[in-house]
């Protein structure tokens, strides 16, 4: 678990991910939070079942790089979004992040703050040298978060933009 002034970023265990997928507010009950309406996209649902859950369950893998980290707003006492790494650092020390803010909490700076804090956490990890992210060209809110956290636009393919920040 890592924190900012307003946020708690909590990596979910295998059992907590199962509660997350159920989306029956049992995860919020476990964390003593108010219920939050999550919209689990079909692509996230598939990733959870096919990749995230098996990798988190695999004891040979560092689950912190495979699980969802829920983002909790301390003032709201609610889950406001998720952030994750897309696997452990590659041989060059690069990791990829993905994130999403729940609809009713967008535009309040939560994700900019969460990405900033996850960058600080990644800097402390000996194997991590850089962070990569991809956004669609039309997702201005998403790439604004990256720009505010000093990511550099490094390329584009079709409708996707690539972003990177060097840590070491």
- Compute the average pLDDT of residues 66-82: 97
CB 102 within 8 A of CB 81: yes
Banded pLDDT at 168 (limits 50, 70, 90): confident
Residue 88 reports pLDDT greater than 90: yes
Residue 41 reports pLDDT greater than 90: no
Counting the structural domains of the chain, the total is 1
Question: What domain range includes position 39?
Answer: 2-166
Tracing tokens 């709201």 back to the chain, one arrives at 76
Express each pLDDT in 108-125 by its tens digit: 999 999 999 999 999 999
Cα 115 from Cα 96, distance rounded (Å): 12
Please indicate, yes or no, whether the overall pTM of this predicted structure exceeds 0.75: yes
Express each pLDDT in 6-24 by its tens digit: 999 999 999 999 999 999 9
Query: What residues contact residue 111 under an 8 Å CB cut-off, 6+ apart?
Result: 71, 81, 83, 99, 100, 101, 145
CATH of the domain at 15: 3.40.630.30
Express each pLDDT in 125-151 by its tens digit: 999 999 999 999 999 999 999 999 999
Burial 90-120 (b: 16+ CB within 10 A, else e): eeebbbbbbbbbbeebeeeebbbbbbbbbbe
């Amino acid at each position: 678990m890592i924190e900012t002034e307003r946020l708690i970023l909590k990596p979910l265990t295998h059992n907590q991910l199962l509660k997350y997928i159920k989306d029956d507010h049992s995860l919020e009950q476990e964390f003593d939070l108010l219920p939050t309406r999550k919209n689990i996209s079909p692509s996230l649902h598939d990733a959870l079942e096919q990749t995230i859950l098996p990798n988190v369950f695999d004891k040979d893998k560092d689950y912190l790089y495979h699980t969802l980290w829920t983002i909790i707003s301390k003032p709201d006492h609610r889950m406001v979004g998720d952030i994750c790494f897309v696997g452990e650092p590659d041989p060059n020390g690069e990791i990829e992040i993905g994130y999403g803010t729940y609809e009713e909490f967008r535009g309040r700076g939560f994700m900019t703050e969460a990405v900033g804090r996850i960058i600080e956490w990644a800097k402390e990890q000996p194997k991590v040298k850089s962070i990569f992210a991809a956004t669609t060209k039309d997702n201005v809110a998403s790439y604004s978060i990256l720009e505010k956290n000093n990511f550099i636009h490094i390329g584009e393919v079709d409708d996707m933009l690539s972003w990177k920040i060097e840590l070491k």
